[in-house]
Amino acid sequence: MDLDINLIVEKMKQDLDLTNASLSDSYFYDSISLCVIDSVYSISIKYDFVLKVIKNYCDYYKIQTHRNKKDDVFDKPSNQDNLKNLVDRIENSSPEKFAEEIFKSRHRTSTSSGILKSEAVLKFAKCLIKNGINTFDDVSKLENNADVENEIKQIPGQTSGISYKYFLMLAGNEDFVKPDRMITRYLENITEKILTEDEKIQIIRDASAELIDNYGVTPRGLDHEIWKFQRENGIEGKSKNSDLVEESDEMSDKTIVYNIRIEGKGGKISLSKITKKQYEYWVENQDDLVDHLTTDDGFNNTDKDLRLIEDATYWDEGDIIVASGPEMDENSLLVVEDEDGNEVFSCKMDNDLLEEKGVVLDEDHDENMLDNVTYFYDMRHYEKGALVNAEVELTGEFDPSKLKIVYNETYDWYLVTSISYDGEELDNDASGDSMGMEASVFNQDEL
């Protein structure tokens, strides 16, 4: 690795508040169960959602969330919420029910063929228990234990090993680093190189060795300071001095128009509140529901107090959520072409694959959108084709790390809702071919 660690350290000193370096509350969980939940849920979703999941679990079971940061002493094992408790609770319910009622999050490990994160938590905890880990006092058994890490990597969504490394950090290991997209973007920005996972980890460890005498930052602490910097400045936060490598003399000033498409299946979804009376009528007349929502006759031939929309065919103005776009799924394909029709970038719309290629992902999901809602309708229009078709004019080459894709999850239907490049949202001039519609009414108390 041909990098000058001294230059990297100097840039870290400029960017990071190392004098006041400190770990956040998440590094002081009172129980090991919370370390498992955090490490699984924190991958590929906003950390605010993770904190809500932790709070929901602790509130439900009346568990203390954090130990005293000043003393930083683990509570005695009998007072900790151990992993056997966590496993028993999920298995006595079910991962599906636990996700709905306890965690109150239906996030999955991947938008394509992923499992519920609640199930991944269960598998993660059972693997640790099988290897003799139940409380914080047992964590030392994991030192240099590659077998456990390899077992964890077999769990869907854990193949990169990032969750396992992060679990060890939360459980007190000072030497581990979580080379997630936050750390990756910072290091690749200041080095202006595409780095392997091993290179990222080595940079953090080497930099920590240079900084620890003056600032007391371990690899874990330095990782966290970088994470805080990225979070405060946005995941695309720039170094205050990011010209470690001279700008390439080969970069052309030519303006190029690139076409960005996402091809595959998708559509539009609309959820809207309805009354109990409307629900009781339409649950018995589901076959007529699409006609009612999408045609003049279906609307006009329905009694006024049973109409679910204010005007004929206005089904897509739902008051809970309206979203449309291609599916965030490995069966959809992101393609970028230059103005001569040459393909310069392509990738399946899979979270892991996109992030490996540097694309920024953001899940725009409102966990509370169905709070205080009992009855609602769910209307979907399915489409196929190029459901994103946008253009961006650039000076120079297309850079996938400047592409940001926002997607939304509604009842396990993941749709791309916006796409931007270098901070500018792109206009989507796309229209797909219809594959049909479906609609249903729901009573949340029965879900």
Per the DSSP assignment, residues forming a β-bridge with 376 are: 273, 442
> What tens digit of pLDDT does each residue of 120-178 get?
999 999 999 999 999 999 998 887 788 999 999 999 888 888 899 899 999 988 887 88
Contact of 25 with 221, CB cutoff 8 Å? no
In sequence order, which ranges of 81-218 are alpha helices (DSSP H)? 83-93, 95-98, 117-130, 146-153, 162-170, 181-191, 197-215
The CA angle 374-375-380, to the nearest 5 degrees, is 130
> What tens digit of pLDDT does each residue of 162-185 get?
899 899 999 988 887 888 778 888
Q: What is the pLDDT of residue 242?
A: 45
Q: What is the DSSP letter of 332?
A: S
Per-residue pLDDT at 97 exceeds 80:
yes
> Of residues 312 and 357, which shows the higher confidence score?
357
Q: What is the pLDDT of residue 29?
A: 94
Per-residue pLDDT at 102 exceeds 70:
yes
Average pLDDT, the chain: 87
Q: What is the mean pLDDT of residues 412-420?
A: 90
356: left (phi over 0), alpha (psi -120 to 50) or beta: alpha
Q: What is the mean pLDDT of residues 257-264?
A: 93
Per-residue pLDDT at 113 exceeds 70:
no
Instruction: Record the tokens describing residue 192, joined without a space.
Output: 């202006």
Domain extents in the chain: 5-233, 256-446
Q: What is the mean pLDDT of residues 344-360?
A: 91
